[in-house]
Every structure is written in C-alpha cells, then in structure tokens.
Structure 1
Amino acid sequence: MTGKTKKTVIVVSLTSLIAVWVISMSYIQINSSLTAKLSFKLLENIYRIKGPLSGTDAWVLKFVNQTYIFPPSTEPYNFSKVHDTSYSVYAHGDSWWYLNRYIRHLFTDEPPGFFLEAGALDGEFLSNTLWLEKTLGWTGLLIEPDKDSFRLLLKKHRKAWTSNACISKDGYPMEVVFVNLEVRGKSHEVRYGRMNFPANSHLYGTNIFTDNITSHVPATEHYSLVQCFPLITFVRALGIEKIDLLSLDLQGNEKVILRNFPWSSIKVRVVIIEDQIKTVDHDFIQFMEKCNYKLMNEDDLPESQDHIYVNKDETILLEKIKKLKKENTKKL
C-alpha cells in the first residue's frame, strides 16, 4: 500500500468515524429530547395533581382510579370483637344511633344501592354505611385520609371501594395539612375509646373542638400532607351515575364541599352531614333547598348535630320520613 493510499484510507476512516459520531450524537439528542419531554410531562402532571387541574380532567380521573382507589375486598369480614372495651365504648354514641335509625327506616325495603362515606375511619367504628353493606348488600366508596385509620380499614375487608385521600374544598386537586390526634397512654385509650381520637382528626384549621379535646386528655397532634380531590372526581373516576346515600363527617368542611358540588351532574338521593356549629344554619338550608333537597330533621336542630337531606324527587323516601315523625309524635 502506497503512502497516498494509506492517507486516503485514514481520511475515509476518520470521515466515517466522524459521520458515525455525528449520527450517534443526533440520535442521542433526539432520544434525550424525547426522554426529557416525557420526564417533563410526568413531572408536570405530578406537580399539577396538587392543583389546579380540574377535578374532572381526564388525566386526573385516570390517575385517581389507578392510584387512589382500591377495589372491594373478596375476603371474609374481620371486625372487632364486641367485648373489646377500648373499641366499643364509643361505638354506638347518640349521633350514631340517631342517624342509623333514619338510615334503616329509609332503606330497609329497598334494593342494594351505592353509598359514598367520607370520614370512614376504620370502616367499622361509627360507620353510617356498614349496616347497608352487611345487611342489604350495598356497596360504595369509603374515603379516609388518615393513614393509620386507613390501614385498619383495609383489614376490615369491606365490600366497597376505598381511598386513602381527602375531599378538596375547591374544584381542583390539592395537597393540604392533615392533623391527626393520638391519645397517649393505654388507660386513656380504654377510657376514651381507641378510635375516638382518630375520629376527631381533621384538616388543619377546620376543627373547632380540638382545643377542648386536647385540654383535658393527654393527646398529641401529628401533622402530615394529604392529597385531596373534589368529590366529583371520586364519583367520575368510578363511573358512578347515582349515589343513594352520601355521608360526610369531615370535622367542619362538609358545607363548603357541598356548596362546590355540581348537583346537576349526578343524582344524589339522601345526604347526611355532621354540623359542629350548634346553631341552625338557615343560609345553608336554603342553599340545599335550591339544590332540590329538603331538610328532614329540622325540628331536632340544633340539639342534634346531624343534618338529613332528601332529594325532593324521592317521594317515597319523603313519605317514609313523615311516617317516622308521626310514629315519634304518638310515642310522646
């Protein structure tokens, strides 16, 4: 091989290497750009899920369905024993009995329906929906933001969907600070009930009784971030078209959540909420009237902290309430 030939080969080889390098770098840049775009999109969605994406955004619905909602259990129920004093001491308080009586009267002779209970705790203690599920074969969605209570909820093996999240006060997903109350000491746990303090856990700044609770019982406040979604997000994620019973016990956020709910987009038959303000909120009652709901237990307010609203189109349910009131009057 002559010197000239050698130079030609070297030049061609170098040219080929340069060409391969250029092509490789271009390929890497293209793929890096694609990867960057994909990574950015993922990060963008993770960031936006904290708000202000719409609660009915298609991506949000898919994300909630795949990440925040667990299917009903197929295993046998695993409830607490009746003689467990630390559990049962508060299990059937006045408020629970009051609501349970109405629920039984309204739905006993009805076919299985769908409930949505927010503030579900462990799925057993003070549950407004357990009787419907066990006795009448209902299913539904149980929402509980407290991680410890939610772990207990999963162990109960409820035949309903479950979600470890909270309901947003606004029309978009957001992260908020959650305050969990934990009693200190076994003696206090037995005396005040193992689930009584988690039942008073709440979103930061919304529970007006926290100071009263912690002033006479040694309890610790723990703070954590929880993901919230609008109420309609959970409904749309499951593809639900009708809610037979909507139960909200959220330590102060019930009314603002209902004010932001798109009532015209889904049928809700009965709504029950706990109202911690011991005065009659006529403005909210009028708001629910405009949304086509009648307050059925106004005579019991403000002594009772529970509101029971029935859709005005539900004539059979309305008649059942009237009959119950007549029976109560006769007994008096």
Structure 2
Amino acid sequence: MTKQRKAWTSHTCISLYPYPKEEVLVSLSRGVQKESELMRRANDPHGSSYVLGVTLDSTLYDSMLLQATKSYSLVQCFPLVSYLLALNVSTVDLLSLDVQGAEKGILENVPWSRLVVRVVVVEVVHHSAFDEVFVEYMGSQNFTLVYFRGEDYVFVRNGDPLMSKIQGVTIVE
C-alpha cells in the first residue's frame, strides 16, 4: 500500500466453498525462544495463518505450530471467483496459491468454465508425496502438469501458447 502499487487488498479470506462463509483464522506468532539467530529466522511463522480445521499434516509445520503463539479471529471468506468478478477480471495469467492446506479445496470450487487461468502454481506442503489424484483433477480441468518438485506444482492450461514453448522440454522432476 505504501509503495502505491497497482494492487487490491481485502481483509477477508478465500473460501473453501463455492459460497461466502465466516471462518476462524488462526494467526501465528513466535514467542521468545532460546535458539540461534539462523534457526529463529528459519522457523519464524510471522505472518503465517490458516483456517481453523484445515489439516496441515506436515512434519515441516508440526513443530512450528506447537511452538507458535496463536491468536484467533473471525473472518469473512469469499470464493476466489467472487474477488475476480468484483474486479471485472475473467483472465488470469498467473494464479499462485499457497494457503497452508486449503489449496485443493479452493481450486475445486473455481468455476473453470467462467474463468481463464493460464498458469497455476500451487504449494501443497501437507502432502508428503506426489499427489496423483490432485494432478488428475487439474487434468480434468484442462491443465497439464509441467513442473513438480517437493511440494510445488506448476500447471499450464491446455492449448495456451505457453504450452508450445515447453513441448518436448522435460521439467517434471
């Protein structure tokens, strides 16, 4: 906001459902810990939050969640498409989604027939291995997985001009 970028903000969250819903948002902060500066920075959850009830199931986050100080607030959540329609946006070049365990629920409620998304980047940290069911779902929505590493998935819409540039290039690891 202070840099006056062309951006919009909303003190709301993205709904896991195809309708608006109030949710409890859990915000994390870190208490004083006796550890090295490097470890403190690596484990700092400052700014991290998640919707109460969303399962993280990640050893990466388990210890951080146990050590973090939590605060709770009631937040109005809206489907992703509601934000885009409010901004009169029907084409998205890049959708990057990293929402602490709610990614799949959000994507399952996108009306793909009403919205053109060219590239989707999703971080799914709570899934310990390659998620074939998730990749199949995105395939059923007209997307091809072009990159996977660790917990990061990158999908490109079938037929997008970008696909012709990456045909024959192996970038799925």
Range class of TM-score, shorter chain: 0.7 to 0.9
TM-score (norm 1): 0.46
Higher deviation after alignment, 279-288 or 255-264: 279-288
Give yes or no for the alignment of 1:308 onto 2:157. Answer: no
Q: Is the 8 A contact 2:43 2:64 kept in 1?
A: no
Give, in whole Å, the separation in 1 of the partners of 2:97 and 2:35.
27
| TM-score, normalised via structure 2 length | 0.84
CA 1:244–1:221 in structure 2 vs 1: closer, same or farther (change >3 Å)? same
1:203 is aligned to 2:51: yes
By how many angstroms is 1:284 displaced? 1.6
**CA distances 1:50-100 after superposition (whole Å, capped 9, x unpaired):** xxxxxxxxxxxxxxxxxxxxxxxxxxxxxxxxxxxxxxxxxxxxxxxxxxx
Q: Secondary structure at the match of 1:270?
A: strand
| Match status 1:261 vs 2:110 | yes
Task: Return 261-270 or 177-186, whichever deviates more.
Answer: 177-186
C-alpha separation in 1, matches of 2:44 and 2:165: 32
CA drift of 1:219 comes to: 2.4
Q: Secondary structure at the match of 1:175?
A: strand
Matched, 1:296 2:141: no
In structure 1, distance between residues paired with 2:3 and 2:76: 23
Unmatched 5+ stretches in structure 2: none
Percent pairwise identity: 38
Residue in 1 that maps onto 2:132: 282
Structure with the higher fraction of residues in helix conformation: 1
Q: Say which is worse superposed, 199-208 or 161-170, in terms of deviation.
A: 199-208
Q: Which residue of 1 aligns with 2:165?
A: 320
In the alignment of these two chains, the number of paired residues is 168
Q: Deviations over 1:125-168 (max 9, x none)?
A: xxxxxxxxxxxxxxxxxxxxxxxxxxxxx345432122221100
More strand by share: 2
CA distance in structure 1 between the aligned counterparts of 2:43 and 2:147, rounded to whole angstroms: 27
In structure 1, give the amino acid aligned to 2:53.
G
Highest relative contact order (Cα 8 Å, sep 6+), 1 or 2? 2
Change (3 A) 1:282 1:184: same
1:52-67 correspondence runs (5 A) = none
Q: How does 1:229-244 map to 2 (within 5 A)?
A: 229-244=78-93
> Rg larger in 1 or in 2?
1
Match of 2:10 in 1: 163
